[in-house]
Amino acid sequence: MKISVRQESIIKERKGSNSLIYTKSIEWSVTRYLTDSGWSSSGKDQKPEPLCSSFTHPSLAKWERAREILERIQSGDRIEIRKVRREIMWDDYSCLEEKIVNFVKSEDREFAFTGDPMDIPSVLEFLKEETGFKPTPTFVEKGRMILDPEATSHLLQALMSMLRANSPLLNKDERGLPDITVYDDPLIPYSHVYYTFDDEGVKTERKELIGNGEILNYLGTLYTGSPGNGRGMYPQPDFFNAVLKPGDWKFRELMEESRNAFVVLGATRSEIVKKSVRIKPRKVVQLGGGEVLVREIAIPLSELSTLDAITSDTRFVYLDEDHGALAPFVRLTARLLF
């Protein structure tokens, strides 16, 4: 099996008081074979099941206007319009996927999406939105938290890292998880990680990993089992878009029913430290109070069961160039680390 990837980009980047528009291209290919010990540079070729098929995203038609679009946009620190071409080949069969992915950065916030570059100005407006809170400093140690969709997405990202088939940290007989349902969905059309087949040539589909608080499946590959999540030159299990199934709560209702709770507004990273999910928040405020000066939010796995509210309101979140999430607001108990 051979996989080849070509990316052509037109980039507008701010340099001091001026903006520079330039092009960049990246291309790589590798031939690999699936053996009893995993992917190797030699062996016998074999096709996966279910086998992929070719796909061209409608956004590709806008590629010829990419430079014109960038010249008309006046704001943003860095904007990239990227044409992506991925192809997987066997001796008698191939799958080709082509699309336009747009990356937008404004100050310390980033977003990306697959689709029409004409939507970039709307993304810039979204990144500039300010919260209505005007907090004053105070300090606490632990309490009821409302995570906004960005913070919830970082919690989901940590959970996904525990669900890789080659090194699972959560077992199928795991107890204490809240009543949540979590998916990996590579087929969200506007996601910047919209993929119709993975890097093993397996046709992608939405995969339910946690159902009503029970571990049902893992992120897997042809080698580890549960295929459909092979990513990379020599594929390893990884997620595309982490999705938390929405609940019944309305956002306004949640705020009204959560007096004195702490609201986590945004997040910049997450990691797992000693059976605890650590999230670095952009800002934490207390309802009816002021801002809480916090270094990290710590959510021990043993306290995930305190998650008792999920809104029906969701938002897509850009995690990094390879991962996205679709998440609601959630309420749980967490610890604040200064």
| Per-residue model confidence as pLDDT tens digits over 217-251 | 999 999 999 999 999 999 999 999 999 999 999 99
> Minimal CA–CA distance to 244: which of 163, 159, 127, 334?
159
- Same domain? For 185 and 293 the reply is yes
- Same domain? For 146 and 123 the reply is no
> Minimal CA–CA distance to 277: which of 311, 242, 247?
242
Q: Is residue 258 part of a domain?
A: yes
Burial class (CB in 10 A: 0-12, 13-18, 19+), 272: middle
Q: Cβ(268)–Cβ(116) under 8 Å?
A: no
- Same domain? For 79 and 166 the reply is no
pLDDT at residue 99 greater than cutoff 90: yes
Q: Is residue 137 part of a domain?
A: no
- Same domain? For 190 and 112 the reply is no
- Same domain? For 331 and 272 the reply is yes
Region 147-158 average pLDDT: 97
- Same domain? For 99 and 154 the reply is no
What whole-number distance in Å separates Cα of residue 321 and Cα of residue 56? Answer: 20
DSSP for 238-282, please give it. Answer: --SEEEEPP-SB-HHHHHHT-TT-EEEEEEEEEEE-SSEEEEEEE
* Range with lowest mean pLDDT among 55-64, 85-94, 137-146, 314-323: 137-146
> What is the predicted pLDDT for the residue at 132?
46
Question: Quick one: pLDDT band at residue 275, thresholds 50, 70, 90?
Answer: confident
What whole-number distance in Å separates Cα of residue 311 and Cα of residue 307? Answer: 12
Q: How many CB atoms lie within 10 A of CB 195?
A: 21
pLDDT at residue 56 greater than cutoff 60: yes
What whole-number distance in Å separates Cα of residue 26 and Cα of residue 6? Answer: 6
Q: Which domain holds residue 307?
A: 142-337
pLDDT at residue 135 greater than cutoff 50: no
pLDDT at residue 45 greater than cutoff 80: no
Q: What is the pLDDT of residues 12-32, one digit of tens each?
A: 998 887 889 999 999 999 999
Region 312-338 average pLDDT: 96
Phi, psi of 256 (to 5 degrees): -70, -30
* DSSP 8-state class, residue 306: G
- What angle is formed at CA 141 by the lines to CA 136 and CA 147, rounded to 5 degrees? 70
Q: Cβ(217)–Cβ(207) under 8 Å?
A: yes
Q: What is the pLDDT of residues 278-324, one digit of tens each?
A: 999 999 998 888 888 888 999 998 899 999 999 999 999 999 999 99
Q: How many CA atoms lie within 13 A of 34 on its CB side?
A: 18
Q: Final residue of a domain: which of 128, 163, 184?
A: 128
Residue located via tokens 């109070």 = 289
What whole-number distance in Å separates Cα of residue 61 and Cα of residue 223? Answer: 37
- Same domain? For 203 and 110 the reply is no
- Same domain? For 287 and 157 the reply is yes
Q: Is residue 136 part of a domain?
A: no
pLDDT at residue 265 greater than cutoff 90: yes
What whole-number distance in Å separates Cα of residue 333 and Cα of residue 307? Answer: 7
Q: Is residue 133 part of a domain?
A: no
- Same domain? For 156 and 108 the reply is no
- Same domain? For 99 and 157 the reply is no
Question: Quick one: pLDDT band at residue 134, thresholds 50, 70, 90?
Answer: very low
- Same domain? For 118 and 166 the reply is no
Q: What is the pLDDT of residues 188-225, one digit of tens each?
A: 999 999 999 999 999 999 999 999 999 999 999 999 99
Task: Identify which has the larger pLDDT, 272 or 140.
Answer: 272
Question: Quick one: pLDDT band at residue 44, thresholds 50, 70, 90?
Answer: confident
Q: Cβ(131)–Cβ(281) under 8 Å?
A: no
- The helix or strand, by DSSP H or E, that contains position 123, with its residue range, turns out to be helix 120-128
Q: Final residue of a domain: which of 128, 153, 168?
A: 128
- What proportion of the chain, given as a percentage, has pLDDT over 70? 97
Highest mean pLDDT: which of 40-54, 70-84, 314-328? 314-328
> What is the predicted pLDDT for the residue at 131?
45
Q: Cβ(314)–Cβ(327) under 8 Å?
A: yes
> What is the predicted pLDDT for the residue at 293?
85
Q: Cβ(97)–Cβ(54) under 8 Å?
A: yes
| Bridging pattern class, strands 241-244 and 323-337 | parallel
> What is the predicted pLDDT for the residue at 130?
53
> What is the predicted pLDDT for the residue at 338?
80
